[in-house]
Structure 1
């Protein structure tokens, strides 16, 4: 896991999937600090910063020394890094999209242009209208977002070139769709969920929904772009019932456990492809499955 510090339950699901196939999986988590929750299920390796000049060499060394078979990014900066790592480690399963697409997905202006080119519905650019929402072009986890309902609410320090500025959709509901696309491009799993409560951009409560319009639009998005592996689509639903594509994270989302709890087989698909098997499409998950999170602490006491 790259940056999977808090993904304890996801790691457990993946270990269980390998176990069901007759393999004992050992999980490594690559982090800046070893004192993270992942230590409950993984060996934490203290690593480099994502932009360190030697990080690719450092990761390759660990992969070769520890005989790593699967590499999964769990934070945005690690995704593009994995795309660059992929051709350097041909014997390792690194289920991410190509580097150009990954780069575009983490620049909101490039993503907007690509979605427009493909004819995908999305909130329009603000132009001179209010209310509007300012999103940092390369931001994540809802950090730095500003909603302005009039010109007086626009901070004076704003540099428009650093933001994606779109019309703000009032009273919209947020939906996430957790998907899995096999290496050959076949869509194996599409599980929508509504985000009922969030904290820091992450779902704390969510529920699976089988909305035909959202399912159809999700397949349309996946057909339009050469995405691979785990993919997280994020949508707004307007009060009128229209779905608008907000962004695509070409990696596992933190709330993917909702779909897993509903019967999605994404961990099994990852395990099968890692082992050279060909997983089949699976869409028999249970709508109305609710996920809610709680906190549990891990204490790291200093040596005496």
Structure 2
């Protein structure tokens, strides 16, 4: 009899390509994958491949009751976060529902990654190479200021001198670091086994261009130094499941610096999966309680270029 995996996506409104890859991986493994997504509004693109269920904002006091009811009602077997606000929710949900496979890192780690100042302090304590971090009283210029709890490059400011710095309100709500203008940006798409804690894959890719903070053109790059850095970070911090690690390459000094860690699947992971990183299969295998295989035979220089696609909703139809 064919196994059935009901997957609940949190914040997965636009993750149609990834949903399709999960469904296709299920077919190869003899598993019927059904996609559900918790959303505040029903008319979102994921509706073209799955079922949209009524959700709440991550800050709503009733969020856990709402998600628990969804898990019971739809016999959910896997829960995956796709936005930063859903990561901590999943960490708590994992404790509440041990019968559900929720491949996320422990709450303490997930919580630290959501505050850039706390995360930078954690990285420094662990000896990870990061851009020089400044206090407002001893800042060197140029400097880049990132909102402590920001995401998708929103609210980032550049200060070229003390006068610029003085114009920024609520400066304590920013992480201040050295600004490296001559750089390349890399993402490493990773998966850490929840069964054995082994790093099953780490695929670097160059971020060529972005739109709205999300990559729209990216290419895989087999860079042993980056793979080694990512693996060391994953093991040292005890991260689990899918993890997205952001680095910059300081071209003037030829050094790779850790920028941030998102303990979830990133939007550009589609590139790594299509290059051969079997992350959907890893998720499904671990849901079955199996040890997933290490994947290192992904294709180098695999380029992904994105485009817009539309989903229509009509008044006289359910979808």
Which band: TM-score by shorter chain? over 0.9
- What is aligned with 2:4? none
2:238 aligned partner: 226
1:282 partnered with 2:290: no
**Alpha-carbon RMSD:** 1.2
2:180 to 166, 169, 172: 169
Residue 204 of structure 1: aligned partner: 216
The residue that corresponds to 1:78 in the other structure is 86
2:207 aligned partner: 195
1:178 maps to which residue?
189
Q: 1:45: Cα distance to partner?
A: 1.0
Spell out the pairing of 1:246-257 with structure 2 (5 A cutoff).
Answer: 246-257=259-270
Q: Which moved more, 1:161-170 or 1:242-251?
A: 161-170
Q: Is residue 236 of structure 2 the alignment partner of residue 236 of structure 1?
A: no
Equivalent residue number for residue 52 of structure 2: 44
Distance in 2, Cα, partners of 1:194 & 1:33: 34
1:92 aligns with 2:100: yes
Relative to its length, the structure with more strand (as a share) is 2
Superposed CA offset, 1:83-132 (max 9, x none) = 00001111100000011100000101110111001100001113321110
Q: What is the match of residue 260 of structure 1?
A: 273
1:149 corresponds to which of 160, 168, 171: 160
Deviations 1:243-281 (A, max 9, x none): 000000000000001111111111100011112221011
Q: Deviations over 1:58-104 (max 9, x none)?
A: 10111011100000000000000000000111110000001110000
Q: What is the CA deviation profile of residues 36-58 of structure 1, one whole-angstrom value per residue up to 9, with x for unaligned ones?
A: 11111110112111111011011
Distance 1:302 1:146 in 2: 43
Alignment: residue pair count:
304
Partner Cα separation in structure 2 for residue 296 and residue 32 of structure 1 = 21
Gaps of 5+ in 1: none
